[in-house]
Amino acid sequence: MTETNGHATTTTNGHAGDGNGAAEPVTFTRKDFQSDQEVRWCPGCGDYSVLAAVQFLLPELGVPPEKTVFVSGIGCSSRFPYYMETYGMHSIHGRAPAIASGIAVSRPDLDVWVITGDGDGLSIGGNHLIHALRRNVNLTILLFNNQIYGLTKGQYSPTSELGKVTKSTPFGSIDHPFNPVSLAIGSEASFVARTHDMDRKHMMEVFRRAHDHQGGAFVEIYQNCNVFNDGAFEAVTARDARSDMIIDLKHGQPIRFGKDNDKGVVATELGHLEIVDVASVGEDRLLVHDENRPDPTLAFALSRLADSPTTPTPMGVFRAVDRPVYGDALNSQIAAVQERQGQGDLVALLNSGSTWEV
């Protein structure tokens, strides 16, 4: 049983009892998930707000710290496990999804989170990321996207815009950038969402949805690097810009936005999505958002509405569908083999000689 009040959760914890087998309620607060480590990001970094959103949310989930794991790679965001009073691992560059996959499959009783960035997750770690999503491993993956390499002091990243002038691209980047949401949907991720670091309430709701999803959940977070790429998302996330620039995706509702709710999204005869004035096309023409649609085509088309963070940008849950969870399938397969052939003896196998039959 879990009861929430926004900041604290009372949950039943099997480790406590009254001597008669009855579990005693345990109340969690943000403090239970805060480590004693000094948070060492640059003052004003968007990582602080993401950390706060996660720490405020975790008590509401009713999962004790000892059942929670954070795995990160390398980058500014990857310091995250140090600041969480949970289990965690600051792993190696780009390999967080692979390490987290092993944890999730071998310990399905744990909540496993992956913290990564646009460099760590989409460059050296791109292959691990797409295969974790393709397999539908039960992970909650948060990708901090600031469109720059911050830890190594300002080189361009896989999400940096064309023409980006950095220390590693002094004449401007000629690389076409990734759209992380498009990449995740193209990898057949069963849950894909986007949020931003200027709205804690929205972050918490999206993170909650991602956590509750069974399977691979991917969340892109627009996160400001105020030292090396300040204001990269300001055209969309600034308070006075949001109503006209954020397309708030709500399942089962026509996609409308704008200060006067006068803009909307329609599908053309060719399947492309376009932003229109509602008055010129009528309410009936508007696309109704269906995050549960099995075919990812429309979710992908929604992700392509914004080819840069300077145009109206969808935020929220793009896709949330049910697919078999990788760990469940793998453990069922192992159990079936053991039932047919019996429990194997790994030690005996390793000591049986230089060759063996499987």
Instruction: Report the C-alpha gap between 283 and 289 in whole angstroms.
Output: 14
Helices (H) and strands (E) in the chain, counts: 12, 14
- Does residue 98 lie within any of the structural domains? yes
- Encode pLDDT of 220-245 as tens digits: 999 999 999 999 999 999 999 999 99
pLDDT digits (tens, 9 = 90+) for 252-301: 999 999 999 999 999 998 889 999 999 999 999 999 999 999 999 999 99
Does residue 258 lie in a domain region?
Answer: no
User: Would 191 be classed as within a structural domain?
Assistant: yes
The CATH number for 6's domain is 3.40.50.970
Give the total number of structural domains in the chain: 1
Distance from C-alpha of 30 to C-alpha of 85, rounded to nearest angstrom: 10
Closest CA to 31 of 61, 65, 63: 65
Percent of the chain scoring above 70 in pLDDT: 92
- C-alpha dihedral sign at 19, 21, 22, 23: positive
pLDDT recorded at residue 338:
86
Residue 294 falls within a domain, yes or no?
A: no
154: part of which helix (H) or strand (E)?
Answer: none
pLDDT band, residue 2 (cuts 50/70/90)? very low
Q: Is 16 exposed, middle or buried (0-12, 13-18, 19+ CB in 10 A)?
A: exposed
C-alpha dist (Å) from residue 50 to 46, 47, 126, 143, 316: 7, 5, 22, 11, 16
Nearest CA-CA partner of 308 in 192, 217, 124, 180: 180
Task: Work out whether the CA dihedral 303, 306, 309, 314 comes out positive or negative.
Answer: negative
Contacts of 48 (CB under 8 A, 6+ apart): 39, 41
The C-alpha atoms of residue 273 and residue 267 are separated, in whole angstroms, by 4
- Res. 20 pLDDT band, cuts 50 70 90: low
Q: Is 346's pLDDT higher than 90?
A: no
pLDDT of residue 23: 60
- Residue for token digits 């000094």? 38
Rg of the chain in Å (alpha carbons): 22
Express as a percent the part of the chain with pLDDT over 90: 83
pTM above 0.85, yes or no: yes
Contact 256, 178 (CB under 8 A): no
pLDDT by residue (tens digit) across 70-122?
999 999 999 999 999 999 999 999 999 999 999 999 999 999 999 999 999 99
Residue 158 is assigned to a structural domain of this protein: yes
Number of residues that this document lists for the chain: 358
**Residue range(s) defining the domain that contains residue 53:** 2-232+324-350
DSSP class of residue 219 equals: E
| pLDDT surpasses 90 at 339 | no
Instruction: With respect to residue 182, please indicate whether it lies within any of the assigned structural domains.
Output: yes
Please report the pLDDT score of residue 47 as a whole number. Answer: 98
- The answer as to whether 237 is a domain residue is no
Strands of the sheet containing 273-277, edge to edge, are 256-257, 263-267, 273-277
Evaluate whether 62 touches 9 at the Cβ level (below 8 Å): yes
Q: Is residue 127 part of a domain?
A: yes
What is the 3 state secondary structure string of 2-52? EEECCCEEEEECCCCCCCCCCCCEEEEEHHHHECCCCCCCCCCCCHHHHHH
